[in-house]
Structures are given as structure tokens and as C-alpha cells.
Amino acid sequence: MKALKSFVLAAVLFVGLFSYAGDKFPTGPNPQTTPGALCTHPDSKRYAEQIDYCVRNVSTQLKNELIKMYDQQFGYSIRTMNRGDFKIDHFIPLSIGGANDKENLWPQHKSVYGITDPLESLLSEKMVAGRMKQADAIRVIREAKLNLGRVPDLIHYVKGL
């Protein structure tokens, strides 16, 4: 019985700590402030579809503003964490026509980009091969970044194209 009580206590503490850590940073972009945006001032065109492509160009000032905004508006603690554990992510990736605009950027923790980055690469590969259109790639990446649990199914779907 004592072992069971210890196990239950340990489980409660683990869940509590995990929940607290999860509240320190976003697990996806907030669609209210980061709805996504397409490149409107392209540096070039890409793929057979000739989509607009913007080269990455996000100032340090904008990165800091985004982190501060997510902390203040949504109660995260990103500024108290190791900055190296975050990147400023493009909700709609540049590789599929996303913009460098504030509406397309959010602070992404390494635990999240470890899940979504492989899908981003796969979407780009399919677009290069002409097996996926931009609109479909955007639909898939939005679904993935707003529902991390769906990423394995989405990767399976995209690989099958």
C-alpha cells in the first residue's frame, strides 16, 4: 500500500510539473495574433506553381516584440527561459510561400519544432516534385501546428502523395 501511495504521489507531482512546464510556452501559434500570412513582396518565384517566395528577414527587435507579446497576452514565461530553446517560427513556412510579417510569426519551443519541422521539409519536397499545391500544403501545416497530435497522421498522408 505504501508503494502505491508513493507511486500516486510521484505521478501527481510529475503531471503537475509537466503541466506547469507546458504553460510556460505555446505549443502552437495563437490564431488571434498569428493567423498566418503569405508572401506579398517576393524575392523570387518557386516551384512549377510559381508561388511567391520571401527570403527570411526577421529583425531581432521584431523577435523580441513577439516573445514579449506572447508572454503578456497569453501568460507565458518565454522571457524567463533559455532563448536558445526557441526560434521565431513562420506559421506558414517561407518554403511554401509564407511571409516575414508579424501575423505569420510566433515563438516556437524546440520541443515543438522537433515535431513540425520534418513535416515542413516533406511539404516542400512534394511541392518541388509537383505532387502538392500551395493551398494543400498550407492546409496541412495549419492543421499540424494547431493540432500537434495530428502530425504523425499528416506526415503519413503527405508521404503517400
Residue that the C-alpha cell 506547469 belongs to: 20
Phi–psi pair at 56, nearest 5 degrees? -55, 130
Give residue 1's pLDDT.
Answer: 53
Q: Of 136, 135, 143, which is closest to residue 161 (Cα–Cα)?
A: 136
161 residues of the chain, pLDDT tens digit each: 544 443 333 333 333 333 334 589 999 999 999 999 999 999 999 999 999 999 999 999 999 999 999 999 999 999 999 999 999 999 999 999 999 999 999 999 999 999 999 999 999 999 999 999 999 999 999 999 999 999 999 999 999 99
Give residue 8's pLDDT.
Answer: 38
Residue that the C-alpha cell 518541388 belongs to: 128
Give residue 115's pLDDT.
Answer: 95
All cell numbers assigned to 77: 514565461
Is the CB of residue 65 less than 8 Å from the CB of residue 51? no
Give residue 22's pLDDT.
Answer: 56
Whole-angstrom Cα distance, residue 47 to residue 105?
23
| Helices marked H in the chain | 2-22, 60-74, 110-128, 134-146, 151-159
Give residue 14's pLDDT.
Answer: 36
Give residue 23's pLDDT.
Answer: 81
Give residue 12's pLDDT.
Answer: 37
Q: Of 30, 116, 35, which is closest to residue 71 (Cα–Cα)?
A: 30
